Structures are given as structure tokens and as C-alpha cells.
Amino acid sequence: MLSFPPGWLSFALGSIPHADVGTAWNLMLRSFPQIPSWPQLPRRTPLENMYVQFSERFPGITLEDGRIFVDRSKDLDAELERLYLAYLEDDLEYGYTSATYAACLDVLRQGHVLFPQPPVALKGQVTGPVSWGLTIVDQNKRPILYDEVLADAVGKHLRLKAAWQERELGKLAPRTITFIDEPYLASFGSAFVSLGRDQVIGLLEEVFAGLHGIKGVHCCGNTDWGLLLNTSVDILSLDAYDYAETLALYPEDVSRFLKRGGVIAWGIVPADVAAKGETAESLVARLDEAIGRLAAKGVPRDTILQASMVTPSCGLGSLPPDLAERIFELTSGVSAAMRRRYTASAEPPAPNPSA
């Protein structure tokens, strides 16, 4: 449950196409002063690719000729033992993400980011265990999530990564939001992903269990929303530009999620060239249609309106910088328009240091 009114506030989802740390932070703070998130910069270095970025210290991880993989031919016992010991002792330093892999996070931690106003919350993100474990392969190109030993290690490794990051962000803001990014869940249930429902939930809950603040999950395609809505997640983020109608297939799950204090982050601003043809007004109309679909299925409209936020539909790291900036402007514009329409005040909530 959020410790502040969601109030149609907006935030970013992760990567942007800028390579300069200062430029990236200026854009983030200008666009999302209430809930800034540290930007991932894959064009600065391949080490900030979302799958490489959180690989430090994973047992057997190898970066070679532009490839990332786990060399299973080596004896990994000592490295696995170090991971499990850190996990059992809740040693969050094991989850440290260095400046080489996350430059914007590092300058934030060092106190070099000056907020234009006290933030309501700081947002961070890690790649989710399903997507990470299906993308990282062994030396034979087999996803490590299909290796029983390594699959268990994936959840514990990312739990420590997420928990360390949450602790660091918590030193700088009254609240934290930690997102688990799971693009591969768009393939859940297909012939391409042979994972059971219980395994997926177990992996997600392993990471969530290490977090004390607000927990979010993002999937940028269609998936089994009922699965995600029935985890302990606080914020569900979806591509509402292309897939909003799929959420309406789960009205009972959505109702239960909202009733327990869950929030929907509507990714209504397309994270591609389609944004060039949209305005804040056209996207507000599209968002109203999406809300109407849920309401028509019995989800109370007022409840939806009180438990919603706004985002782009996905990360922007592969786009031209000017298009990414346009998408951020649209996101802020939709957020402001929805606040004017549906909240008592168009002003975002002030931070509460005691929360």
C-alpha cells in the first residue's frame, strides 16, 4: 500500500537514450520532480544494458566479446556459497551496484544530484528474475532459469540487488519505490517460456520479500495480469497504450488488488514513434476509454481514479533523444490533466518526512 495519495502522479520506467549523466539527471528532474528515478544509460556503456547492469557478482558470470553468460563448466561452488551466505545473513553489501554499471545511481548516492524540490518518493529498478534468468544463458546458450541450482540463485541475487538499492535510496527520500521490470512475462504461457505459474510467483516474491518500501512491477506487453495482481506488488505498471483492453479481462483480480490498496500505473504514452502523433489531450481521451472498459466490467470507477498514476509505456533507451524528451513531456502533460480533472487539487502532495 502506498503511503501517499497516487493522485495521477507520473514517473519514468528506466532507460533513456542520453549518454551524459548530467544531461540525463537534468531531464529526469525537470520531467518528474515529485518522483524522480535514476536513469539507466545503455548508450553510455553496454554495462548499463538492463540485463548486464545487475550481473555483478553473480556466480560464474562472464562478459566476453559482447556476450554475457554463466560459465557452467567452471566450479561455481565457492561463488554460490558466498551468495547464499550473504542471503542468509541479509548482507546487502553483496547487492552493491557500482558506478561502472550504473553511473546515474552512483552520482545520486554521492549526493551530487540536487532536487528542485523535496521528492515525494525516489524510484529505482532492477530487472526481474524471470526476464533476467531467461536472458542470461550458460556457455551452451541455455537460459539459466532452466538450471535448478542457478534458478534459485537468480532470485536470491536479485533480491539482494533490489534490497541494497532500496536502502541507498531510502537515505535520500522519505519513501522509496522499487520496480521489478519483467518484459519477458509477455511470453509467459507461450511455447517460448516453459515456466509454471507457481515458479514465476515464487521468483517474484523472493525479490519482493527483501523490500520494505513500495514495490512495483512492469510488463510492457500482454501477460497474465491475474498472476501479477495476486502477488504482493503495490503498483502494477502496464503498456496501456497498446494493451489496456487486456487488463479488463481480469476485473475481479483488479478489484481485489485495488481494494487492498494497490495502484495502477497507466503507461498511456507510447514509447515509440507513435508519440509524435499524440497530444496530452488525445492520450487523456485514450486513458478515459481504458478506465471505462474496466468500469464496464464492474470495477468501481471512483476507485480506479483514486488509485492511478501515469508513465510512458516502456523504457526509452533505444529512441532518439528528442523523441524521448517528447515522451516525457507528454507524460507530464497527461499527469497534470488527470490531476486537474480527478483530484481535489492539481498540486501534487507534499512530502511527509515522518511517513
DSSP element (H, E) containing 306: helix 301-306
For residue 28, is pLDDT > 90?
yes
CATH code for the domain defined by 21-342: 3.20.20.210
For residue 105, is pLDDT > 80?
yes
Q: Where are the domains of the chain?
A: 21-342
pLDDT (0 to 100) of residue 354 = 41
Q: What is the mean pLDDT of residues 242-268?
A: 97
For residue 106, is pLDDT > 70?
yes
Residue 332 backbone phi and psi in degrees, to 5:
-65, -40
DSSP states along 82-142? HHHHHHHTT-GGGG---TTT-HHHHHHHTT----SS--S-EEEEEE-HHHHHHHSEETTS-
pLDDT (0 to 100) of residue 351 = 52
Q: What is the mean pLDDT of residues 313-339?
A: 97
pLDDT in tens, 190-200: 666 778 899 99
pLDDT in tens, 190-232: 666 778 899 999 999 999 999 999 999 999 999 999 999 999 9
Banded pLDDT at 186 (limits 50, 70, 90): confident
